[in-house]
């Protein structure tokens, strides 16, 4: 009897467990179902599987977008054009997931009453399997808050939000790449700027820009990057009428040359020429035909000389904490060495706040001017900063020049001017470095 009771209990427990399992499974299945009032799906695809899109609009030529072998979008009709990759990708995303507001006719025998026999917009969506889905947009609804739509092979007629037509009905100009230059900034190896009767050439050394012409000099990387940003933002205005395009070409031809920029990466060299006519700037690119008006920001951005791109900072250690600092200034020697987070001098731990004040002065040390003529006299002081785990050693030699100073980076020919107050500030900051206070007694 006791065994039979135990068996009954096991059976009951199993039944309860099974019931609970199937109940939870049913709840999960119900939760996975779309709500009863959810908008009906018209088409659901993976946008990565779409290989071609054809936009057909009344009164306009068909626009054909295709993916190339590298998976990039390109325009193949009405003429071959580079495509705006972001705009093309957005169109593909919108085309891959189209939802309706409602089904107004579950099985339409005549599409003409909805404007779908001769739709205002058709989008042919081709997948990797070669299947073409034809999505059509017809007349607006009586309330003017949407449009009628249909899908090939589906007997239903839907209403969709008015935004669907604008999202999917992109024009040729919407989908064209409007950039005057298409270089990839991180891939550039050479940049040549011909402006202000100077030929300046920049070369990339690892991740740093250097001036190569008219002679080797340190470049201000931020200024070079800012120049490249402005060039990268240069766009064509594709809405110009033929008459406006002719006027732009005439203004460019009669304007004064401002600058020519050549940009070289592994794929070749691109070039842009910029002219100024009165207060306006016009550009011609080697990549696209025509002349286009460009922003004054770009015009003034390329209208620069050699000194605008030279690096005035005297040290390159930047935001790294140095490993060692050695200074000879005003007849005094200062030596500091870092161990982990602490600074030491002559075996004494130094106050970190006063050391950081000196490091900030050295980090911000900038020339007041560049000296292109003259000689470097007898050195009256020097500053050596070792950083990057002792891999970078930078030494400044300092010579007197009247009331001010001339500075030379060791093993570099360039000379920099430094005013007396700046040198005095560094000297004072060094003399203010003090030992760390003794640890508090417990």
Residue 399 clears pLDDT 80, i.e. is over it: yes
Residue with tokens 């007396």: 420
Task: Give mean pLDDT, residues 344-373.
Answer: 95
Angstrom CA distances, 172 to 47, 94, 134, 329, stand at 20, 17, 19, 67
Task: Give mean pLDDT, residues 268-274.
Answer: 97
Report the run of H or E that residue 9 belongs to, with start and end.
helix 2-32
Residue 442 clears pLDDT 60, i.e. is over it: yes
Residue 1 clears pLDDT 80, i.e. is over it: no
What confidence category does residue 29 fall into, taking pLDDT thresholds of 50, 70 and 90?
Answer: very low
What confidence category does residue 14 fall into, taking pLDDT thresholds of 50, 70 and 90?
Answer: low
Prediction pTM value? 0.79
Whole-number average pLDDT of the chain? 91
Beta bridge partners of 65: 53, 75
What confidence category does residue 11 fall into, taking pLDDT thresholds of 50, 70 and 90?
Answer: very low
Q: DSSP alpha helices (H): ranges in 33-161?
A: 85-96
The DSSP letter of residue 438 is P
| Tens digit of each residue's pLDDT (9 = 90 or more) over 48-79 | 999 999 999 999 999 999 999 999 999 999 99
Q: DSSP alpha helices (H): ranges in 140-241?
A: 162-168, 172-175, 221-232
Residue 285 clears pLDDT 70, i.e. is over it: yes
DSSP-derived pairing of the beta strands 73-77 and 208-213: unpaired
- The whole-number pLDDT of residue 12 equals 46
Residue 114 clears pLDDT 50, i.e. is over it: yes
- The whole-number pLDDT of residue 379 equals 87
Contact by Cβ (8 Å): 200, 211? yes
Residue 18 clears pLDDT 60, i.e. is over it: no
| Residue of 77, 41, 72 whose CA lies nearest to 60 | 77
Task: Give mean pLDDT, residues 247-276.
Answer: 97
Residue 235 clears pLDDT 60, i.e. is over it: yes
- Spatial distance between the Cα atoms of 96 and 123, rounded to a whole number of angstroms: 11
- The whole-number pLDDT of residue 24 equals 55
Contact by Cβ (8 Å): 279, 213? no
Total count of residues recorded for the chain:
442
- The whole-number pLDDT of residue 32 equals 45
Any idea which of 23-37, 89-103, 168-182, 229-243 has the lowest mean pLDDT? 23-37
- Spatial distance between the Cα atoms of 101 and 261, rounded to a whole number of angstroms: 52
Residue 239 clears pLDDT 50, i.e. is over it: yes
Report the run of H or E that residue 248 belongs to, with start and end.
helix 242-254
- Spatial distance between the Cα atoms of 221 and 204, rounded to a whole number of angstroms: 10
- Spatial distance between the Cα atoms of 368 and 432, rounded to a whole number of angstroms: 24
- Calculate what percentage of the chain has a pLDDT beyond 70: 91
User: At a CB cut-off of 8 Å and minimum separation 6, what does 70 contact?
Assistant: none
The DSSP letter of residue 244 is H
List the domains of the chain with CATH numbers: 41-175 (2.60.40), 185-309 (no CATH), 324-431 (2.60.40)
Residue 99 clears pLDDT 50, i.e. is over it: yes
Report the run of H or E that residue 329 belongs to, with start and end.
strand 324-329
């Amino acid at each position: 009897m006791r065994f039979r009771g135990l068996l009954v209990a096991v059976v009951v427990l199993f039944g309860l467990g099974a019931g609970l399992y199937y109940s939870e499974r049913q709840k999960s299945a119900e939760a996975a179902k779309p709500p009863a009032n959810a908008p009906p799906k018209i088409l659901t695809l993976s946008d990565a599987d779409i290989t071609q899109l054809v936009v057909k609009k009344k009164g306009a030529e068909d626009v054909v977008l295709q993916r190339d072998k590298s998976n990039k979008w390109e325009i193949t009709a009405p003429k071959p054009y580079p495509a705006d990759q972001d705009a093309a990708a957005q169109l593909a995303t919108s085309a891959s997931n189209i939802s309706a507001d409602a089904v107004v006719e579950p099985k339409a025998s005549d599409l003409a009453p909805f404007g779908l026999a001769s739709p205002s917009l058709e989008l042919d969506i081709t997948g990797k399997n070669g299947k073409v889905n034809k999505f059509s947009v017809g007349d607006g609804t009586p309330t003017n808050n949407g449009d009628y739509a249909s899908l090939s092979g589906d007997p239903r007629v839907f209403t969709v939000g008015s935004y669907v037509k604008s999202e999917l009905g992109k024009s040729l100009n919407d989908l064209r790449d409007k950039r005057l230059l298409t270089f990839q900034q991180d891939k550039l190896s050479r940049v040549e700027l011909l402006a202000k009767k100077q030929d300046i050439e920049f070369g990339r050394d690892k991740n740093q820009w250097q001036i190569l012409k008219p002679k080797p000099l340190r470049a201000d990387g931020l200024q070079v990057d800012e120049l490249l940003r402005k060039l990268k933002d240069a766009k064509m205005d594709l809405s110009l009428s033929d008459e406006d395009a002719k006027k732009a070409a005439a203004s460019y031809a009669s304007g004064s040359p401002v600058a020519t920029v050549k940009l070289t990466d592994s794929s070749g060299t691109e070039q842009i020429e910029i002219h100024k006519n009165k207060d306006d700037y016009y550009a011609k690119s080697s990549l696209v035909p025509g002349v286009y008006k460009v922003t004054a920001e770009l015009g003034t951005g390329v209208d620069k000389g050699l000194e605008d791109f030279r690096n005035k900072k005297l040290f390159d250690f930047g935001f790294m904490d140095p490993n060692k600092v050695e200074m000879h200034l005003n007849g005094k020697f200062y030596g500091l060495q870092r161990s982990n987070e602490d600074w030491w001098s002559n075996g004494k731990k130094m106050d970190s706040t006063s050391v950081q004040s000196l490091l900030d002065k050295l980090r911000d040390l900038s020339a007041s001017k560049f000296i292109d003529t003259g000689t470097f006299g007898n050195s009256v002081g020097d500053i050596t900063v070792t950083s990057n785990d002792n891999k970078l050693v930078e030494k400044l030699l300092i010579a007197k020049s009247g009331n001010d100073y001339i500075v030379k980076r060791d093993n570099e020919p360039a000379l920099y001017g430094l005013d007396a107050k700046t040198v005095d500030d560094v000297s004072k900051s060094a003399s203010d470095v003090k030992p760390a206070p003794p640890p508090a007694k417990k």
